[in-house]
Amino acid sequence: MKTYRNLLLIALMVVTVTACKKNKDSNTSESDKIKDTTIAYARDIYLWYDKIPASFNARNYSSPDAIMKAIRAYSNEPGFSTPVDRWSFAVDQAEWDDVSGGIAKDFGLNAFFYTMNDLRVRLVEPNSPAGMAGIKRGWRFTKVNGITDINTSRASELQTAIYGSNTASFTFLKPDGASVDITLNAASYNSKPLYLDSVYTVGAKKVGYMVYNSFLGDSAQTVDGYARIINRFTAENVDDVIIDLRYNGGGYVYFQQVLANYLAPNSANGGLMMATKYNNNYSRYNSSVNFSKKGTLNLSRIFFIVSNSTASASELLINNLKPYISNVHIIGPSKTYGKPVGYFPIPVGTDYIFPVSSRTVNKNNEGNYFDGFALSNQVLDGLTKELGDVDELCLASALKYIGTGSFRVRTVEEPFTEIPQVVNANKKLDHSFKGMINPQRF
């Protein structure tokens, strides 16, 4: 990950030098120097840099991360009544290097409420402690660190236990009715972004299905994985493709570009994929990327499974393909997250700061989807079934459309997880990174 680790903006070095030189002439603490440098970058590279008031005092905040979160309040965008930036942040460099390289240290367990008092395993990383313990998607939590009244009002406690503990004890109810007690210890492991790929037969059609959970990870493994999956789809003569991005919060723009080139139809070759735009200070670095078609898939329609966890580079993929594929069907429990902007790591002290610094648009100059992409078909996340199971609700709806021309209709027995208590609790339990990392070198 050295390429990404060294992405210091040369054009901004004068800002840092000026800030540090000023600090050397006073008895300023090291902490305040770092805060001064943080806001100096923000006043120069932040997409809404000119909205940060002169009175903003970075020294009033506890850390670079607190400063990044504070400047979000000035992200005023035409057509929106409230600030749009929900993402500018800072993080320890070592921690980011692990995250960006696909290395996690936790239980490898992701939880989501199915109903107000029904918490399920949403995803398990195969190489994680949870994966090694045999825990499966769809198992129901009945006890977490002694908590037995599992309901949405306990979301904060559950979030701490599941994601913020080094050790935790769980009791699960399995689909066969058996109960199992498992204690997990947090450990480092390599995540599996390219989670699953399958080919299904629906009538006379072949359907390729790909579950892709993050645009982060090892670049060589990711690109090789794309080639393997697309070659499989091609060899089996698939007619339609379903890309499952429901848990994909984004990552590196480069990965999106490679995948888009595989999924784009032949007619897109040479056409504009996306344009990246910076603020007025850096408009000379605005750039564009054209499609360079890979493989022989020539899709006339494509299906995306999404959720509110689908963000940034995932949304970018959808947006970039829309002008070239006439039928883009978006299926899932909720519209996408809404993040049409990006950033890159800037080292300050021992942290990287990530002020939002760019926006992207597609061939049709579309890119203001801060409210997310609307659904073609709303269907619940089938938490009681494994991903890839043809009876899992989202996949089932896509397959039904391919076979019959109409989406699946929700039955009255299915829980309405859109109720506010469940939505708010699940936001607390959504532990996925949401970002679009642009390795632009100025």
Question: Mind listing the pLDDT tens digit for each residue in 148-170?
Answer: 999 999 999 999 999 989 999 99
Site of tokens 């203001």: 368
Angle, nearest 10°, between helix axes 30-45 and 64-71?
A: 30
Q: If you average pLDDT over residues 302-308, what whole number do you get?
A: 97
Share above pLDDT 70 across residues of the chain, in percent, rounded to a whole number: 89
Instruction: Find out if CATH 2.30.42.10 is the number for domain 103-190.
Output: yes
- Provide the CB-side half-sphere exposure for 310 (13 A, CA): 30
- Give the Cα separation of 295 and 293 in Å (integer): 7
Site of tokens 């940060």: 52
Q: Cα 155–157–163 angle (5° rounding)?
A: 90
Q: What is the pLDDT of residues 316-337, one digit of tens each?
A: 999 999 999 999 999 999 999 9
Q: Mean pLDDT across the chain, nearest whole number?
A: 90
Residue span(s) of the chain under CATH 3.90.226.10 come to: 194-340+358-414
Site of tokens 């408009």: 283
Q: How many other C-beta atoms can be found within 10 angstroms of the C-beta atom of residue 185?
A: 10
Query: What's the pLDDT score for residue 1?
Result: 36
Question: 390: Cβ–Cβ under 8 A, 6 or more apart, which residues?
Answer: 200, 396, 399
Tokens of 154: 């306990």
Site of tokens 């599996």: 192
Looking at the domain that runs over 194-340+358-414, which CATH code has it been given? 3.90.226.10
Residue span(s) of the chain under CATH 2.30.42.10 come to: 103-190
Q: Where does 193-310 have alpha helices with state H? A: 219-235, 253-263
Q: If you average pLDDT over residues 77-99, what whole number do you get?
A: 91
